[in-house]
Amino acid sequence: MRVGVIGTGRVGLVTGACLSSLGHEVTCMDADEAKVATLREGRTPFHEPELDDLVRRGTDDASLIFVDSVGAAVKGADVVMICVGRPPVGADDRSLSAVEEAARAVARDAEQGVVVVVKSTVPPGTSGHVAHAMGSERPDLACSVVSSPEFLREGHAVADTLRPERIVVGADDDRGRQIVEQLYAPLVRAGHRLVRTDPRTAELAKLASNAFLATKVSFANGLARVAELAGADGRRGDRDHGHGPPDRAGVPRRGPRLRRPTACRRTS
Ligand SMILES: NC(=O)c1ccc[n+]([C@@H]2O[C@H](COP(=O)([O-])OP(=O)(O)OC[C@H]3O[C@@H](n4cnc5c(N)ncnc54)[C@H](O)[C@@H]3O)[C@@H](O)[C@H]2O)c1
């Protein structure tokens, strides 16, 4: 399939490189021209295990290309994935301006029947907002908007994309769902779990995942503080005698507390 990726940060670049390795033709676009130039030179702007190899292989066989205009990314694309970030915390935490701006730009240049996948982390209901924005930008465009949130971990991004614990596809229409399932078909054939739902529930699943992770980090930090005061081994107390093996939240340890930024993290 032909795939356009809008936003070539960690999520967009890893998604694009992995999809090209699965046999799709991928065009990655970013508004940051310097980033696009770096990628065209074969350099990746951050480190992720396996990523450099995937990008090199994709660019060598031309299944992965980098462009700096939305038009070039969406021309002829069956699927366009929106992977842009959000404004920095403190500027306007709740603003979805980047996602909406990307969606409107996609609408202007997209082919009839395009399927737009929102991979950015967004509040429940955003896919509907994206569909509305695209419709007001280009009323004649027939398109489907599907939510497929990203669950990758930094430092494990390629492994989490090619060997995901689950793939969530939230669609309201059959055609959009079928096209996105085709996109992920090689992963499903390899035995990875695909969860079908509606867009709002898919967006909520990502919110729930982040909130649960934040809860686990807070729990681990609290236990680490108690361990520090008591002179106990917080790692063993939690993992071996508490709630089981370490998971994505990490385990408490003595010394500096785990740090992971979340929108609601208390600083005191
Ligand atoms: N990084 C992670 O581990 C991770 C994991 C899961 C989900 N997410 C979510 O995925 C989304 C992307 O995350 P990221 O870490 O890749 O962000 P990022 O900030 O590293 O990259 C976003 C990219 O989008 C580009 N961009 C912004 N607006 C654009 C536009 N209108 N058109 C084209 N390009 C545009 C930026 O130049 C940037 O290169 C966010 O919503 C994030 O919350 C991130």
pTM of the model: 0.88
Q: What residues have CB less than 8 Å from 236, skipping those under 6 apart?
A: none
Same domain, 17 and 126: yes
**Does 151 lie in the same domain as 170?**
yes
- Give the pLDDT band of residue 88 (cuts 50, 70, 90): low
Cα–Cα dist 106/73, whole Å: 9
Are both 134 and 15 inside the same structural domain?
A: yes
To test the ligand 1 pocket, which listed residue (28, 126, 150) has its Cβ within 8 A of the most ligand atoms?
Answer: 150
**CB distance 55 to ligand 1 below 6 Å:** no
pLDDT tens, residue by residue, 138-197 = 999 999 999 999 999 999 999 999 999 999 999 999 999 999 999 999 999 999 999 999
Residue 120 and residue 147 in one domain: yes
Whether 226 and 184 share a structural domain: no
**For residue 178, with 0-12 CB atoms within 10 Å meaning exposed, 13-18 middle and 19 or more buried, which class applies?**
middle
Ligand 1 pocket, 93 CB below 6 A?
no
Q: Are residues 177 and 203 in the same domain?
A: no
Last residue within a domain, chosen from 156, 179, 197: 197
Question: Do residues 192 and 231 share a domain?
Answer: no
**132/265 same-domain check:** no
Please tell me the distance between residue 99's alpha carbon and the centre of ligand 1 in angstroms. Answer: 9
Pocket-testing residue among 33, 80, 84, ligand 1, by greatest number of atoms within 8 A of Cβ: 84
Do 135 and 38 lie in a common domain? yes
Q: Which of 197, 231, 247 is the last residue of a domain?
A: 197
Length of the chain counted residue by residue: 268
- Lowest mean pLDDT segment, chosen from 37-51, 84-98, 145-159: 84-98
Q: Show which of 145, 168, 197 is a domain's final residue.
A: 197
pLDDT at 233: 86
Statement: residue 258 has pLDDT above 60:
no
Total domain count for the chain?
Answer: 2
Q: What is the residue with the minimal CA distance to atom 21 of ligand 1?
A: 9
- Both tokens of 17, joined, read 């490189």
Per-chain mean pLDDT for the chain:
89
Domain membership of residue 218 as a residue range: 199-268
Nearest CA to ligand 1 atom 43: 121
Whether residues 58 and 183 share a domain: the answer is: yes
Residue 251 clears pLDDT 60, i.e. is over it: no
- CATH code of 188's domain: 3.40.50.720
147 and 227 both lie in a single domain = no
pLDDT of residue 243: 59
CA–centroid distance, residue 101 to ligand 1 (Å): 13
